[in-house]
Amino acid sequence: MDAQNLIARRIAQELRTGMLVNLGIGIPTMVANHLPTGVHVYFQSENGLMGTGPVPERGLNHPDLTDAGGRPVTALPGACTFDSAMSFGLIRGGHLDMTVLGGLQVSQGGLLANWVIPGKMVPGMGGAMDLVTGARKVVVAMQHTAKGQSKVVKTCSLPLTSVRVVDLLVTEMAVIAFPNGQATLMETAPGISVEQVLAATEAELLISPDIKSMRL
């Protein structure tokens, strides 16, 4: 299993029937492809679609069905569309049970930077600021390193998305939670040791006394 699908599959285990969940662009969209059997949730996209399904197979996408980043999605029976005012009303009104967002950096205190790299063309803020602030649970899907450099850092060098601490970070190496604003290693990926996670991480991690291996 590749890194992105591993991350998406582990995050899908956080879903519970009846949840209203927003999936950001990139790795988060893949979570819908790993929904556990018997779990029924409502996926929402901030461009005004509730009831999105798995990413369509190549050649089977509909030109008018996309996520907020313009990537193809599917619509499940009972799906509905609405305008941006309604969509952001759901987000800002605290009606989202969970949001899954990509990340550029996450600090050891649980702060997220995911919307801009100065001097480079990136998608921009979109709804990320509202999602981090408004969702009841914030989960970050992010690869652990980029070009050999840790993305789990002591302090974010990139502009922050919000001052709210995220709840959970899932990478291809580890699951990290932030109780009391302190990065705590909760799980390691199959075949990955605690020592390997620590070596690949700039941030100082506490080790949970109940640490375990991811169950995928």
Residues tagged active-site: 46
Element at 215 (helix H, strand E): none
Q: How far is CA 148 from CA 143, 145, 191, 201, 210, in A?
A: 11, 6, 19, 10, 29
DSSP 154: S
Burial class (CB in 10 A: 0-12, 13-18, 19+), 98: buried
C-alpha span between 35 and 11 (Å, rounded): 9
C-alpha span between 208 and 216 (Å, rounded): 20
DSSP 48: T
C-alpha span between 111 and 86 (Å, rounded): 27
CA angle 137-200-112, nearest 5°? 30
